[in-house]
Amino acid sequence: MPDASLTLISHPLCPFVQRAAIVLLEKNVPFERINVDLSAKPDWFLALSPTGKVPVLKVGQANGEDAILFESMVICEYLEETQGGASMYPDDALLRARQRAWIEFATPTLAEAWQFLNATDAAIAEGKRAAFRDRLQKLEAELGSGPYFAGADFGMVDAVYAPLFRYFAIIDPAVSQAIFEGLPRVAAWRAALAARHSVRDAVVNDYADRFREHLRQHQAILAT
Protein backbone atom coordinates (compact mmCIF):
# COMPACT_ATOMS: atom_id res chain seq x y z
CA MET A 1 0.00 0.00 0.00
CA PRO A 2 1.19 3.56 -0.68
CA ASP A 3 2.70 5.41 2.25
CA ALA A 4 0.20 8.14 3.05
CA SER A 5 3.00 10.30 4.42
CA LEU A 6 3.94 11.30 0.83
CA THR A 7 1.28 12.33 -1.66
CA LEU A 8 2.18 13.60 -5.13
CA ILE A 9 -0.47 15.87 -6.62
CA SER A 10 -0.17 15.28 -10.33
CA HIS A 11 -1.47 15.56 -13.87
CA PRO A 12 -1.06 12.60 -16.25
CA LEU A 13 0.78 14.61 -18.94
CA CYS A 14 2.87 17.03 -16.89
CA PRO A 15 6.62 16.55 -17.49
CA PHE A 16 7.46 18.38 -14.26
CA VAL A 17 5.41 15.89 -12.26
CA GLN A 18 7.36 13.11 -13.98
CA ARG A 19 10.61 14.49 -12.58
CA ALA A 20 9.34 14.01 -9.03
CA ALA A 21 7.80 10.62 -9.80
CA ILE A 22 11.07 9.37 -11.30
CA VAL A 23 13.02 10.40 -8.20
CA LEU A 24 10.47 8.74 -5.91
CA LEU A 25 10.71 5.54 -7.94
CA GLU A 26 14.50 5.67 -8.04
CA LYS A 27 14.53 6.04 -4.26
CA ASN A 28 12.01 3.19 -3.94
CA VAL A 29 9.79 5.41 -1.81
CA PRO A 30 6.10 4.45 -1.53
CA PHE A 31 3.75 7.32 -2.28
CA GLU A 32 0.17 8.09 -3.17
CA ARG A 33 -0.52 9.86 -6.45
CA ILE A 34 -3.58 12.04 -7.03
CA ASN A 35 -4.31 13.49 -10.47
CA VAL A 36 -6.13 16.80 -10.85
CA ASP A 37 -7.88 18.31 -13.86
CA LEU A 38 -5.88 21.45 -14.59
CA SER A 39 -8.62 22.78 -16.86
CA ALA A 40 -11.04 22.82 -13.90
CA LYS A 41 -8.80 23.10 -10.85
CA PRO A 42 -10.61 22.06 -7.66
CA ASP A 43 -10.68 24.45 -4.72
CA TRP A 44 -8.76 22.05 -2.47
CA PHE A 45 -5.90 22.01 -5.00
CA LEU A 46 -5.81 25.80 -5.34
CA ALA A 47 -5.64 26.02 -1.56
CA LEU A 48 -2.51 23.85 -1.62
CA SER A 49 -0.66 25.20 -4.66
CA PRO A 50 0.32 28.90 -4.54
CA THR A 51 1.06 28.79 -8.30
CA GLY A 52 -1.95 26.71 -9.31
CA LYS A 53 0.49 24.25 -10.93
CA VAL A 54 1.62 20.69 -10.39
CA PRO A 55 3.54 18.97 -8.95
CA VAL A 56 2.70 19.49 -5.32
CA LEU A 57 4.03 17.14 -2.65
CA LYS A 58 2.18 16.69 0.62
CA VAL A 59 4.53 15.53 3.37
CA GLY A 60 2.86 14.04 6.43
CA GLN A 61 4.20 15.31 9.74
CA ALA A 62 4.34 13.64 13.15
CA ASN A 63 1.69 16.04 14.45
CA GLY A 64 -0.78 14.81 11.83
CA GLU A 65 -0.55 17.89 9.65
CA ASP A 66 0.79 18.06 6.08
CA ALA A 67 3.68 20.21 4.90
CA ILE A 68 3.25 21.38 1.32
CA LEU A 69 6.05 21.60 -1.23
CA PHE A 70 5.70 22.99 -4.75
CA GLU A 71 8.01 23.42 -7.76
CA SER A 72 9.44 20.25 -9.24
CA MET A 73 13.12 20.77 -8.45
CA VAL A 74 12.37 21.83 -4.88
CA ILE A 75 10.51 18.55 -4.47
CA CYS A 76 13.29 16.55 -6.14
CA GLU A 77 15.97 18.16 -3.97
CA TYR A 78 13.93 17.48 -0.83
CA LEU A 79 13.58 13.82 -1.79
CA GLU A 80 17.32 13.60 -2.50
CA GLU A 81 18.10 15.03 0.95
CA THR A 82 15.59 13.02 2.97
CA GLN A 83 15.16 9.65 1.28
CA GLY A 84 17.45 6.65 1.02
CA GLY A 85 18.74 4.95 -2.08
CA ALA A 86 21.66 5.90 -4.26
CA SER A 87 22.59 9.57 -4.38
CA MET A 88 21.46 11.33 -7.53
CA TYR A 89 24.34 13.81 -7.43
CA PRO A 90 28.12 13.30 -7.34
CA ASP A 91 30.04 13.94 -4.12
CA ASP A 92 32.27 16.57 -5.72
CA ALA A 93 30.88 20.10 -5.23
CA LEU A 94 32.03 21.36 -8.63
CA LEU A 95 30.47 18.41 -10.47
CA ARG A 96 27.22 18.90 -8.53
CA ALA A 97 27.16 22.57 -9.51
CA ARG A 98 27.76 21.75 -13.17
CA GLN A 99 24.95 19.21 -13.15
CA ARG A 100 22.60 21.71 -11.54
CA ALA A 101 23.51 24.16 -14.30
CA TRP A 102 22.44 21.61 -16.93
CA ILE A 103 19.23 21.08 -14.98
CA GLU A 104 18.57 24.82 -15.36
CA PHE A 105 19.28 24.41 -19.08
CA ALA A 106 16.51 21.79 -19.24
CA THR A 107 13.56 24.10 -18.62
CA PRO A 108 14.02 26.39 -21.66
CA THR A 109 14.96 23.30 -23.69
CA LEU A 110 11.65 21.74 -22.72
CA ALA A 111 9.88 24.98 -23.64
CA GLU A 112 11.37 24.94 -27.15
CA ALA A 113 10.39 21.28 -27.59
CA TRP A 114 6.86 21.85 -26.27
CA GLN A 115 6.26 24.81 -28.57
CA PHE A 116 7.51 22.76 -31.53
CA LEU A 117 5.28 19.81 -30.65
CA ASN A 118 2.20 21.99 -30.20
CA ALA A 119 2.79 24.38 -33.11
CA THR A 120 -0.17 25.03 -35.40
CA ASP A 121 1.83 27.14 -37.86
CA ALA A 122 4.53 25.62 -40.10
CA ALA A 123 6.92 28.57 -39.82
CA ILE A 124 6.69 28.62 -36.02
CA ALA A 125 7.14 24.85 -35.92
CA GLU A 126 10.32 25.05 -38.00
CA GLY A 127 11.75 27.86 -35.88
CA LYS A 128 11.11 25.98 -32.66
CA ARG A 129 12.46 22.74 -34.13
CA ALA A 130 15.68 24.54 -35.05
CA ALA A 131 15.93 26.12 -31.59
CA PHE A 132 15.39 22.76 -29.91
CA ARG A 133 17.93 21.11 -32.20
CA ASP A 134 20.48 23.80 -31.27
CA ARG A 135 20.02 22.99 -27.60
CA LEU A 136 20.44 19.28 -28.31
CA GLN A 137 23.74 20.06 -30.02
CA LYS A 138 24.96 21.75 -26.83
CA LEU A 139 23.99 18.64 -24.87
CA GLU A 140 25.77 16.45 -27.43
CA ALA A 141 28.98 18.36 -26.77
CA GLU A 142 28.64 17.87 -23.00
CA LEU A 143 27.78 14.16 -22.92
CA GLY A 144 30.41 11.49 -22.43
CA SER A 145 30.33 7.78 -23.15
CA GLY A 146 27.07 7.27 -21.24
CA PRO A 147 24.80 5.55 -20.90
CA TYR A 148 23.58 8.38 -18.67
CA PHE A 149 24.40 12.06 -18.48
CA ALA A 150 27.37 11.65 -16.16
CA GLY A 151 28.35 8.11 -17.10
CA ALA A 152 27.32 4.79 -15.58
CA ASP A 153 25.10 6.13 -12.78
CA PHE A 154 21.56 7.46 -13.27
CA GLY A 155 21.28 10.88 -11.65
CA MET A 156 19.13 13.95 -11.20
CA VAL A 157 19.98 15.36 -14.63
CA ASP A 158 18.65 12.15 -16.17
CA ALA A 159 15.42 12.39 -14.18
CA VAL A 160 14.93 15.94 -15.47
CA TYR A 161 15.52 15.26 -19.17
CA ALA A 162 13.73 11.89 -19.45
CA PRO A 163 10.20 13.39 -19.63
CA LEU A 164 11.29 15.70 -22.46
CA PHE A 165 12.66 12.87 -24.59
CA ARG A 166 9.56 10.74 -23.99
CA TYR A 167 7.52 12.88 -26.41
CA PHE A 168 9.72 11.94 -29.33
CA ALA A 169 8.93 8.24 -29.03
CA ILE A 170 5.25 9.09 -29.59
CA ILE A 171 5.27 11.43 -32.60
CA ASP A 172 6.02 10.44 -36.22
CA PRO A 173 9.34 8.51 -36.14
CA ALA A 174 10.52 10.32 -39.27
CA VAL A 175 10.18 13.66 -37.47
CA SER A 176 12.07 12.41 -34.43
CA GLN A 177 14.79 10.81 -36.53
CA ALA A 178 15.49 14.09 -38.31
CA ILE A 179 15.78 15.97 -35.03
CA PHE A 180 18.22 13.52 -33.45
CA GLU A 181 20.18 12.72 -36.62
CA GLY A 182 23.90 13.36 -36.21
CA LEU A 183 23.62 13.45 -32.42
CA PRO A 184 24.74 9.93 -31.46
CA ARG A 185 25.39 10.67 -27.79
CA VAL A 186 22.02 12.34 -27.27
CA ALA A 187 20.30 9.54 -29.19
CA ALA A 188 21.99 6.88 -27.05
CA TRP A 189 21.17 8.81 -23.87
CA ARG A 190 17.54 9.11 -24.94
CA ALA A 191 17.36 5.33 -25.54
CA ALA A 192 18.93 4.53 -22.17
CA LEU A 193 16.47 6.79 -20.37
CA ALA A 194 13.50 5.25 -22.16
CA ALA A 195 14.56 1.80 -20.96
CA ARG A 196 14.92 2.83 -17.29
CA HIS A 197 12.21 1.34 -15.05
CA SER A 198 11.61 4.58 -13.15
CA VAL A 199 11.13 6.50 -16.39
CA ARG A 200 8.70 3.93 -17.79
CA ASP A 201 6.72 3.76 -14.55
CA ALA A 202 6.50 7.53 -14.01
CA VAL A 203 3.52 7.82 -16.37
CA VAL A 204 0.14 6.11 -16.75
CA ASN A 205 -0.12 3.15 -19.12
CA ASP A 206 -2.10 5.11 -21.71
CA TYR A 207 0.22 8.12 -21.66
CA ALA A 208 0.98 7.94 -25.40
CA ASP A 209 -2.71 7.92 -26.31
CA ARG A 210 -3.37 10.82 -23.96
CA PHE A 211 -0.55 12.85 -25.50
CA ARG A 212 -1.74 12.16 -29.06
CA GLU A 213 -5.23 13.25 -28.03
CA HIS A 214 -3.75 16.42 -26.53
CA LEU A 215 -2.09 17.22 -29.88
CA ARG A 216 -5.35 16.59 -31.75
CA GLN A 217 -7.33 18.83 -29.41
CA HIS A 218 -4.80 21.62 -29.89
CA GLN A 219 -4.82 21.09 -33.68
CA ALA A 220 -1.06 20.74 -33.69
CA ILE A 221 0.60 20.11 -37.05
CA LEU A 222 2.13 16.92 -35.66
CA ALA A 223 -1.34 15.53 -34.97
CA THR A 224 -2.15 15.33 -38.68
Tell me the CATH number at 70.
Answer: 3.40.30.10
- 25-68 tens-digit pLDDT: 999 999 999 999 999 999 999 999 999 999 999 999 999 999 99
Catalytic residue among 6, 14, 76, 192: 14
Residue 60, classed as helix, strand or coil, is strand
Q: DSSP string of 100-169?
A: HHHHHHHHHHHHHHHHHHT--SHHHHHHHHHHHHHHHHHHHHH--S-SBTTBSS--HHHHHHHHHHHGGG
Residues 35 and 114 in one domain: no
Tell me, yes or no, whether 1 lies in a domain.
Answer: no
Residues 161 and 53 in one domain: no
Per-residue pLDDT at 43: 97
Residues 73 and 110 in one domain: no
Residues 136 and 164 in one domain: yes
- 150-201 tens-digit pLDDT: 999 999 999 999 999 999 999 999 999 999 999 999 999 999 999 999 999 9
Give the residue among 89, 213, 91 at the shortest CA–CA distance from 160: 89
pLDDT-derived band at 1 (thresholds 50, 70, 90) equals very low
- Dist CA 60 CA 42 (whole Å): 21
Residues 52 and 102 in one domain: no
- Region 209-214 average pLDDT: 98
Residues 211 and 122 in one domain: yes
**Long-range CB pairs of 124-133, under 8 A, 24+ apart, other chains included:** 125/221, 125/222, 129/179, 132/179, 133/179
pTM recorded for the entire structure = 0.96
Q: What type of residue is 46?
A: L
Residues 104 and 53 in one domain: no
Per-residue pLDDT at 3: 46
- The residue with greater pLDDT, 94 or 64, is 94
Residues 53 and 151 in one domain: no
Per-residue pLDDT at 143: 98
Q: Are strands 6-10 and 66-70 parallel, antiparallel or unpaired?
A: unpaired
Is the confidence at residue 224, as pLDDT, over 90? no
Q: Is 14 a catalytic residue?
A: yes
Residues 119 and 219 in one domain: yes
Structural domains in the chain (count): 2
- What residues form DSSP beta bridges with 7? 32, 58
Structural domain of 101: 93-223
Cα 159-162-166 angle, rounded to 5 deg: 155
